[in-house]
């Protein structure tokens, strides 16, 4: 798989549009999570760039794709922080809207065992409306692929999918934050779905294996169910076991490199961003997923989301060593 992944990496040059969220992640480590009404002492506060869409844009740009980000930031200091980090990654931020009020934020508490609580405040992300979308339509239509997740208003996500799908631009939907009740139009206009194994189970009403051995399941059955649901192409990530690519009721397995992860925050977004980059550059879905497995694994060796994403050179070196 390494030779195939390097081949994809060498061809990354396509144009990617990503419409969605930009968040500042406020994180505090504590010995344990507080009970309702309780105060516990935590460690230093860290503020990192986040937002699923912003993470995906950074991951795609770092490995060489031409990425344009669409969304909104507020008028606070977080706005400059989020924009500057995307600029550092090589993302075109010139189409991001600046609005009154705060930027999107997440407040995260993590205990000594890695368990966490997360509160998401949409802030400026909630202002991304149909008027903004239509004002950016001409630029959207210049890309080869569109990436979407569900941290933006669902009607805007659906409308963006429709605009690009009808123009022949491939649409990749990350059903995250997960919802099992996707609008019928969004299912129709999204060409490819990306979910993890637990999200797939909820979406299709599948019983999860008691021993968590997903590789032993009959994935041809899952592929048929996904096809019947309306997604003829999908990628299902399965943690340390890699991913399954489902296409027209057939399946293929993408293996993952075995490592001891340091921090898995944002690894799913690194996977998504890489698939977008591969598809935009003319690579097949399974080829793009093969590279994405390496990029996401590399990210797990670092801390945070965007800060852990590798450049093309760093990813190439990682692939060659594994």
* Residue whose C-alpha is closest to residue 83's, from 112, 45, 57: 57
Nearest 5°: CA angle at 279, between 86 and 169?
A: 90
CB distance 62 to 295 below 8 Å: no
* Residue whose C-alpha is closest to residue 254's, from 231, 278, 230, 232: 278
pLDDT tens, position by position, for the chain (322 residues)?
688 899 999 999 999 999 999 999 998 889 998 999 999 999 999 999 999 999 999 999 999 999 999 999 999 999 999 999 999 999 999 999 999 999 999 898 888 876 778 888 999 999 999 999 999 999 999 999 999 999 999 999 999 999 999 999 999 999 999 999 999 999 999 999 999 999 999 999 999 998 889 999 999 999 999 999 999 999 999 988 999 999 999 999 999 888 888 878 889 999 999 999 999 999 999 999 999 999 999 998 887 789 899 999 999 999 999 8
For residue 80 the two structure tokens come to 């400059």
CB distance 234 to 246 below 8 Å: yes
Q: Where are the domains of the chain?
A: 2-22+51-102+125-321
C-alpha span between 20 and 69 (Å, rounded): 8
What is 252-302 written as a DSSP string? EEE-------S--TTHHHHHHHHHHHHHHTT--HHHHHHHHHHHHHHHTTS
pLDDT attached to residue 27: 86
Is 57 strand, coil or helix?
helix
Residue 56 CB neighbours (<10 A)? 35
CB distance 170 to 191 below 8 Å: yes
Element spanning 47, H or E: strand 46-50
Cα dihedral 142, 305, 255, 313 sign: positive
Helix ranges restricted to H, 68-192: 77-89, 130-135, 137-140, 154-166, 184-189
pLDDT attached to residue 114: 66
Residue 111 CB neighbours (<10 A)? 16
Residue 31 CB neighbours (<10 A)? 11
For residue 9 the two structure tokens come to 């990496």
Q: Which fold has domain 2-22+51-102+125-321?
A: 3.40.1190
What is the tally of helices (H) and strands (E) in the chain?
12, 14
C-alpha span between 148 and 183 (Å, rounded): 14
């Amino acid at each position: 798989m390494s030779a195939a992944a390097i081949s994809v990496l060498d061809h990354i040059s396509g144009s990617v549009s990503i419409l969605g969220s930009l968040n500042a992640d406020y994180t505090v480590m504590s010995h344990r999570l507080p009970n309702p009404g309780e105060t516990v002492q935590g460690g230093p506060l860290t503020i990192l760039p986040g937002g699923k869409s912003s993470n995906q844009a950074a991951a795609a740009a770092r490995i060489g794709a031409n990425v344009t980000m669409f969304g909104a930031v507020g008028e606070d200091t977080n706005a400059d922080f989020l924009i500057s980090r995307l600029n550092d990654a090589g993302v075109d931020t010139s189409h991001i809207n600046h609005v009154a009020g705060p930027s999107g934020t997440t407040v995260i508490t993590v205990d000594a065992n890695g368990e966490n609580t997360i509160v998401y405040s949409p802030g400026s992300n909630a202002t991304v409306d149909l008027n903004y979308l239509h004002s950016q339509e001409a630029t959207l239509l210049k890309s080869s692929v569109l990436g979407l997740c569900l941290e933006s208003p669902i009607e805007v996500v659906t409308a963006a999918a429709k605009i690009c799908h009808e123009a022949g631009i491939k649409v990749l939907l990350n059903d995250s934050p997960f919802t099992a009740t996707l609008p019928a139009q969004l299912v129709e206009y999204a060409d490819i779905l990306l979910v993890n194994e637990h999200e797939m189970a909820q979406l299709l009403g599948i019983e999860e294996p008691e021993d968590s051995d997903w590789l032993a399941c009959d994935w041809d059955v899952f592929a048929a169910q996904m096809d019947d649901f309306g997604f003829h192409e999908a990628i299902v990530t399965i943690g340390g076991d890699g991913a399954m690519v489902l296409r027209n009721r057939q399946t293929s397995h993408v293996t993952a490199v075995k490592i001891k992860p340091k921090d898995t925050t944002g690894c799913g977004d690194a996977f998504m961003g890489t698939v977008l980059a591969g598809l935009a550059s003319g690579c097949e879905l399974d080829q793009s997923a093969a590279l994405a497995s390496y990029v996401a694994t590399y990210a797990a060796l670092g801390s945070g989301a965007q800060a852990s994403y590798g450049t093309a050179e760093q990813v190439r070196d990682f692939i060659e060593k594994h």
